[in-house]
Structure 1
Amino acid sequence: MTVGILLLAAGRSRRFGSDKRLACLPGGRPLLQQTLLTLRAAKLPLRVCLRPGDARVDDCFEPGERLVCPGADGGMGRSLAEGVAQLPGHWQGLLVALADMPWVQPQTLEHLVAALEPGGMVVPLHAGQRGHPVAFHRHWFPMLQQLQGDRGARALVDAAGDACRRLPVVDPGVLRDVDRPADLTAGLSPAGADPG
């Protein structure tokens, strides 16, 4: 089964105050660059959702990775919907990853892909909390393409019942994101923890 990664990177970074994708982590690497490095280490096909005219990060991508999402200002759900609509037809599943979560380990991505079954979805669970990225079989693609607003796929995950597997992981990176500048220097900052 071909499973790829759809990275959501079309947000406006309103809470951060500037384009957080370009902000440097303590080691000096920009946030988006570190996230891409981690995702590419899993050796999975990658596509990245971006706003139209978003040239500030062009040098981060390999040919064919960029997906332009004209409705990105409609929220994470809209970006996700537009990104899924542009995926290669042979993808049987996807991991929905977030650009502001650079601490997810490549092994976690591999475990999520291995746990994904036909018709299912998989959410990483760390310390009893749901995190990111979330894996979806292509069965869910039509529903993902209907999403709107800022909540992403949270309602879809909540409504999936037994079709959604909670996979315990030893990776605190699935719960950590960067929302504000202080999160960069603090190292790890608790994320909202729910998939969305």
Structure 2
Amino acid sequence: MTTAGVLLAAGAGTRFAAPEHKLLATLDGRSVAARSLEALLDAGLDSVAVVTGAVDLAGALDAVGSDRHGGITLLANDHWESGIASSVVCATAWAALVGAEAVVVGLADQPFVPSAAWRAVAESSGPIAVATYGGIRGNPVRLGREVWPLLPHDGDEGARAVMRRFPEIVVPVACEGLPDDIDTVEDLRRWS
């Protein structure tokens, strides 16, 4: 089965009160977005894309060395302001174009989710698989092709709406790592 990985990176990051966007902020010498992308690339999925929107991430992502990993597709979400659902729709539309049977979706502002978590979720079965950390659901989430038509097209919920509606098709996957977001300058300082 072909599985694609997609990093969602389209939001404005309005809670990050700094001159730069939170995904461009430096954490241990690399941008938050680059750290997250490196983990996804190291998971070894068949294809990788990044959904962008509010900020140009091309320079930060180039630093990862896409040639080392066979390339990264940048997907521009022109409707990013409508919420995360539009980014998930971009992800599944691209996954369909590349012939993937499943897509694993994670967030670019979660730089402590390791490649092992991406890989474990990707290798799981079931229509939807969700990473859990200490029993609490987080990201990434694997979405089988059969659930793509059920996903909302706008708003601030992606797969969560489908998971609530059809809990019987959700497979939890215990993962190591931390699903902590970098949403504020204080979050960044705590990890720096």
Pick from 182, 185, 192: which aligns with 1:181?
Answer: 185
Q: Which residue is equivalent to 2:111?
A: 102
Residues in 2 aligned to 1:31 and 1:141: alpha-carbon distance in whole angstroms: 28
Classify the secondary structure of the residue corresponding to 1:83.
Answer: helix
AA matched with 1:7: L
Residues in 1 aligned to 2:106 and 2:35: alpha-carbon distance in whole angstroms: 13
AA matched with 1:179: D
Number of equivalent positions? 180
Bigger drift between 80-89 and 6-15 goes to: 80-89
Classify the secondary structure of the residue corresponding to 1:112.
Answer: helix
Classify the secondary structure of the residue corresponding to 1:158.
Answer: helix
Matched, 1:80 2:83: no
Q: 5+ unaligned residues in a row in structure 2: which ranges?
A: none
How far the C-alpha of 1:64 sits from its partner, in A, is: 5.2
**C-alpha RMSD over aligned residues:** 1.8
Q: Which residue is equivalent to 2:125?
A: 116
Q: Which residue is equivalent to 2:168?
A: 162
Matched, 1:50 2:52: yes
TM-score (norm 1): 0.84
AA matched with 1:183: D
Q: 1:58-77 to 2 correspondence within 5 Å?
A: 58-59=58-59, 60-61=61-62, 62=66, 63=71, 65-77=73-85
Residues in 2 aligned to 1:110 and 1:83: alpha-carbon distance in whole angstroms: 18
Pick from 114, 127, 132: which aligns with 2:134?
Answer: 127
CA contact (8 A) 2:44 2:119 kept: no
CA contact (8 A) 2:43 2:115 kept: yes
Q: 1:28-47 to 2 correspondence within 5 Å?
A: 28-44=29-45, 45-47=47-49
**Could you give the per-residue CA deviations for residues 73-101 of structure 1, whole angstroms, max 9, x where no partner exists?**
10111221133223334100011110101
Q: 5+ unaligned residues in a row in structure 1: which ranges?
A: 189-196
Bigger drift between 4-13 and 88-97 goes to: 88-97
Classify the secondary structure of the residue corresponding to 1:133.
Answer: strand
CA contact (8 A) 2:117 2:177 kept: no
CA contact (8 A) 1:7 1:99 kept: yes
Structure 1 stretches (4+) deviating beyond 2 angstroms? 61-64, 86-89
Residues in 1 aligned to 2:109 and 2:10: alpha-carbon distance in whole angstroms: 11
